[in-house]
Amino acid sequence: MKLQIGETIKCLRREKGITQEELAEVLSVSCQSVSRWELGTCYPDIELLPEISNFFAITVDKLIGADNAIEKNKVGEYLNRYQEAISQGNIALCIQIAREGVKEFPNNYTLLNKLMYALFLAGDEDGNIPDWKEKMQKYDAEITALGERIMKYCPEQNIRLEAASRLAFNHCEMGRKKQGRAIYETLPPQQFCRESHIWWALDDDEKLPFTRDFIRKSYENLRAGLYNMVFGRLLPDKELISVCEKTLALDALIRDKDAVHPRHYLAQFRCLFARIYARLGQTDEAMEQLRIAANHAAAFDSRPEEGTTYSLLLGETNWKHTDFESDDSRSCRDIMLHKWLAHSDFDAVRDSAAFQQIIHMLKP
CATH 1.10.260.40 domain range(s) in the chain:
5-64
User: Could you tell me the end-to-end alpha-carbon distance of the chain, in angstroms, rounded to an integer?
Assistant: 57
Query: Is the pLDDT reported for residue 24 higher than 60?
Result: yes
pLDDT tens digits, residue range 141-163? 999 999 999 999 898 899 999 99
Instruction: Write out the E strands in the chain.
Output: 306-311, 315-320
Which string of DSSP letters, residue by residue, matches 18-67? --HHHHHHHHTS-HHHHHHHHHTSS---GGGHHHHHHHHT--HHHHHTTT
- Where, residue-wise, is CATH 1.25.40 in the chain? 89-187
Residue 2 has pLDDT above 70, yes or no: no
Maximal C-alpha separation, the chain = 83
Spell out the CATH class of 89-187: mainly alpha
Could you tell me the pTM of the whole model?
Answer: 0.81
**Given a cut of 90, is residue 277 above it in pLDDT?**
yes
Helices marked H in 306-352 — which ranges?
Answer: 332-338
Q: Which residue has the higher pLDDT, 67 or 118?
A: 118
Long-range contact list for 100-107, CB < 8 A, 24+ apart?
Answer: 101/75, 104/74, 105/71, 105/74, 105/75, 107/11, 107/12, 107/15
- pLDDT above 60: residue 1: no
pLDDT at 260: 77
pLDDT digits (tens, 9 = 90+) for 216-243: 999 999 999 999 999 999 999 999 999 9
CA distance 253 to 267: 19
Which CATH architecture does the domain made up of 5-64 adopt? Orthogonal Bundle (1.10)
Q: Quick: pLDDT tens for 35-77.
A: 999 888 888 998 899 999 999 888 887 888 766 777 888 999 9
The predicted-structure confidence for 309-350, as pLDDT tens digits, reads as follows 999 999 999 999 999 999 999 999 999 999 999 999 999 999
Partner residues linked to 320 by β-bridges: 306
- Is the pLDDT higher at 12 or at 302? 302
- Tell me which amino acid residue 228 is: N
CB 146 within 8 A of CB 116: yes
Q: What angle do CA 297, 298, 301 make, to 5 degrees?
A: 85
- Does residue 295 surpass a pLDDT of 90? yes
Average confidence (pLDDT) over 13-26: 90
Query: Greater confidence, 16 or 250?
Result: 250
Give per-residue pLDDT as tens, 160-207: 999 999 999 999 999 999 999 999 999 989 888 888 899 899 999 999
Q: Is 364 exposed, middle or buried (0-12, 13-18, 19+ CB in 10 A)?
A: exposed
| Interatomic CA distance for residues 133 and 136, integer angstroms | 5
State pLDDT tens for residues 70-88. Answer: 788 899 999 999 999 999 9
